[in-house]
Amino acid sequence: MIRHQRAIGAASLEVAAQGLARLHQAAPLRVLFPTPDPGQPLEAALVNVAGGLAGGDALEARIALREGARALVMTPAAEKVYRSLGEESRIATRIEVAEGAVLEYLPQEAILFDNARLRRRMDARVAPGGTLLAAESVVFGRIARGEIWRNGLLHDSWRLHRGDRLHWADALALDAARRDAPFGLEGAESLGMMLLLAEDAARHRELARELTQGAASLVRPGLLLLRFLGTAGGVRGCMATAIMEMRAAALNRPRALPRLWTC
């Protein structure tokens, strides 16, 4: 049996109110720190220097914010998930947000090549008084090249704890047949999700519904969920607008995308 070389990357980032407190990284995952605009929080970019994920590759990131810390974590480009010979590609993210801390976790989309198999997991623990704005999306195929994700697997799961208690959980298991089914995604090219966990999240419910044409709800006290579905360009455009508007309304940030989203 032929055993292929696999890339196993990891990064651990800890931020204090004064700035970066601790950093560990293992190739091919790297963390870069763009210079933020004056008055803005620390910015960190998670970079897969391998250029994408093949079957059997894995990336794991841990992001921890201490009390009173502020940070924006993003990616400089879409994550490419290549066709698999059978094994799954894996992406795992663990987030910890302490009381009074504010984290924006805003990676760009994952692009599934035909026959890609991706298992992605998010585990977040947010203390009472902490705030999390997070978004993730996926594109089913290299749409600009006319390639559609016709075979493969996507398993996407979220676990969100508020303090020591499970606050919300979500999971999606999808193959191309379910994607094309009327009771599935009805052939959509892309889907995305954004959540705001904050004490005053309910104040922004109407804005969220406007941004998603009604596909937003307050699913738990303090937890606002926005969903996006449609063409690849349409989902990215709607999510970009939602990021700008929610950053400004909920976090008092400039009404702008993270700079790496526009490069």
Q: Domains in the chain: how many in total?
A: 1
203 domain residue, yes or no: no
What is the predicted pLDDT for the residue at 11?
98
What is the predicted pLDDT for the residue at 237?
96
pLDDT in tens, 2-16: 566 789 999 999 999
pLDDT in tens, 101-124: 999 999 999 999 999 999 999 999
Residues of the chain short of pLDDT 70, as ranges, are 1-4, 263
147 domain residue, yes or no: yes
165 domain residue, yes or no: yes
219 domain residue, yes or no: no
Range of the domain at 237: 8-187+229-261
218 domain residue, yes or no: no
96 domain residue, yes or no: yes
214 domain residue, yes or no: no
In order, the DSSP letters of the chain are -------EEEEEEEEETTEEEEEEEETTEEEE-PPPPTTPPEEEEEEETTSSB-TT-EEEEEEEE-TT-EEEEE-SSPEEE---SSPPEEEEEEEEE-TT-EEEEE---EEE-TT-EEEEEEEEEE-TT-EEEEEEEEEES-GGGT----S-EEEEEEEEEETTEEEEEEEEEE-HHHHHSTTTTTT-SEEEEEEEE-TTGGGGHHHHHHHHTT-EEEEETTEEEEEEEE-HHHHHHHHHHHHHHHHHHHH---SS--GGG--
104 domain residue, yes or no: yes
